[in-house]
Chains A and B, each alone.
Chain A
Amino acid sequence: MKVLVCISVVPDTTTKIGFVENNTQFNTAGVQYILNPYDELAVTRGLELAEANAGTVTIVHVGKSDSEAVIRKALSMGANEAIRIDAEPTDAQFVAAEIAKIANGYDLILTGRESIDYNSGAVCGLLGALLGIPSVNVVTKIDYNNGTFSFDRDIDGGRETVSCAAPVVASAQKDLCEPRIPNMRGIMAARTKPLQILTPQTTANFSASKSYELPAAKTGVKMIDPENAAQLIDILRNESKVI
């Protein structure tokens, strides 16, 4: 089984988000970067499936050289090799177009449900359409038997089980597995695993980020006496009119 896992590199979840250059650029000062948490699940489940089916896992990332530490982390989890497409990932459509160029010949392609920075959640579906293969998003379970994958996926107000033959692309949702923590042997081995650097083959011409905004700050909390907590319902009904 050949598995391709697409990863993105995102600010750590504790990052306080801010912008510079007149709110046109993300303020990267002091930001720690991590493997996108959903992609970590995709890497882990990809490895488990490949290990159980005499397969290999290839990591692909669209980004500049500063993301190599995170790519090495995915390799230290157990992936066999990695590809970095050397370009600034401007939007999901550019990323998917670039990955589609190298994604033929895999049985299973995995992404995270979405990156926790730009939250498009689109690469899985885009790859499906660009490669002409089925796509299954927000999966919480992946099993494989004799050429057929079976998935549990979240749906609005529940969960469903679907199946389809390889090749297929799916996006990892929480519940899929527990993320694998690299061990010392994995970390040592990752240093010498192949990391291929490719130049981009497409142009980014779908969208352009113009500026950023932060949510409006709350103007101040109004405290309610706990002894008189019932008053809350009155306020919500008659003052803020939300119930």
Chain B
Amino acid sequence: MKNILVFAESADNSFKKSTQEAISYAREIAETTGGTVTAMVVGSAEASHLGNFGAHRVISVDYSGAFTSDAFSTIITEVAKSVQADLLVISNTYSGKSVAPRVAASLDASLATNVISLPNNSPGFWVKRGVFSGKAFAWVELTKACKVLSITPNSFEIKQWGGNAPVSNQTVNSTTLITVEQVNKVTGKIALTEAEVVISGGRGLKGPENWGMIEELADALGAATACSKPVSDMGWRPHSEHVGQTGITIKPNLYIAVGISGAIQHLAGVSSSKVIVAINKDPEAPFFKAADYGIVGDAFEVLPRIIAAAKN
């Protein structure tokens, strides 16, 4: 891989953790294959410090329009052509997932999404990706000369390489057929897919009015909140919080499940978490077989003790 291009996704003029991970990932590959890492940014974010995460250089594209999949795909494709990229690294966020396939198709490149490993080059180019909604992994060989990877957040450690990267400007003509009418961002909440700690509640909490405990613990630990499928199906919590096979697959450092039995579909979405804590009053709950730490007890008695300790 000689020319690695990273799409450095920015939000509110700063770079997300997932972007920093993507750049560090690309640099790791460049260190073994002797390539150059170019980070591309769209819009006005100050970007020279991306050198610290491993970018050798930064290309800043002047485009003032809102994020739309068609416009941004065109921009990424044009920059990829101009730097003769043979590998593109994109974060597997909703935005990243909306552009990665379009870019791959435009470049006639091989695409792998949900990537969770560095490539294996012996021989060829293989990556490990999550399949069966978290129940398994597949090693996939990408066979086209150019490759596009979208990498799962929280799969790679950010490395500090030190220093700033030189920034050059590039102009790309890009138009969109999509009009962004309205954007509603939830402020002050940690995005579930990128959270390092997730506190999740299930039917054992008995009703939406009891979610204050989950939120209190989440606040104390800087965590995002999540829920099981029955809870979102009953409308106690929004579908956007549902983790599991037909919800979101997450990969935090710590997942605390309160009052969730641990059905196979739920475990699929969370089993890649580094440390799992299950709290359930049923000692036979299947979650205890998939957890690192377990507490058999009533959530209404156990959680206040944990919250008090977390605040301490």
Contacts and interface: CB of A to CB of B under 8 A. Distances in A.
| Chain B contact residues, majority secondary structure | mixed
B254 A156 contact: no
Nearest to B191: A157
A243 B197 contact: yes
A127 to B, nearest CB: 8
A126 B105 contact: yes
B265 A14 contact: yes
A210 interface: yes
A230 B217 CA distance: 12
A230 B104 contact: no
Given A221-B288, A221-B291, A134 B177 contact: yes
B45 interface: no
A208 B264 contact: no
A210 B140 contact: yes
Given A122-B113, A135-B102, A156-B193, A17 B132 contact: yes
Contacts of A16: 264
B239 interface: yes
Interface residues of B, number: 99
A202 interface: no
Interface in A172-225: 174-175, 205-215, 218, 221-225
Interface residues of A, number: 78
Given A137-B97, A222-B294, A226-B301, A208 B246 contact: no
B288 A122 contact: no
A65 interface: no
Interface in B8-41: 11, 16
Contacts of B277: 232, 236
Contact of B293 (A124, A162, A235): A235
A134 B293 contact: no
B25 to A, nearest CB: 18
A135 to B, nearest CB: 5
B136 interface: yes
B49 interface: no
Contacts of B278: 221
B164 interface: no
B133 interface: yes
Interface stretch (A47-55, A74-82, A113-121): A113-121
Nearest to A130: B105
Given A93-B111, A163-B178, A174-B242, A213 B94 contact: no
A154 B242 CA distance: 13
A164 B176 CA distance: 9
A85 B199 CA distance: 44
Contacts of A235: 293
A162 B65 CA distance: 13
Given A119-B114, A137-B69, A212 B136 contact: yes
A146 to B, nearest CB: 15
| Residue of A91, A155, A157, A205 ringed by the most chain B CB atoms within 10 A | A157
Contacts of A155: 94-95, 183, 185
B308 interface: yes
Interface stretch (B81-89, B123-131, B155-163, B201-209): B123-131
A221 B292 contact: yes
A211 B245 contact: no
Contact of A207 (B110, B185, B196, B264): B110
Nearest to A140: B239
B64 interface: no
| Residue of A120, A124, A231 ringed by the most chain B CB atoms within 10 A | A120
B288 to A, nearest CB: 5
Given A174-B239, A208-B143, A215-B136, A135 B264 contact: no
Given A162-B178, A175-B240, A208-B143, 19 more contacts: A13-B264, A37-B246, A93-B104, A117-B132, A120-B114, A122-B101, A134-B68, A137-B94, A160-B181, A206-B111, A208-B141, A215-B137, A218-B292, A221-B289, A222-B294, A226-B302, A229-B303, A235-B293, A240-B275
Interface of A: 11, 13-14, 16-17, 19, 37-38, 91-93, 96, 116-126, 128-130, 133-138, 140, 150, 153-165, 174-175, 205-215, 218, 221-226, 229-236, 240, 242-243
Which 4 pairs across A and B sit closest by C-beta, in order of nearness? A226-B297, A125-B101, A129-B105, A230-B309
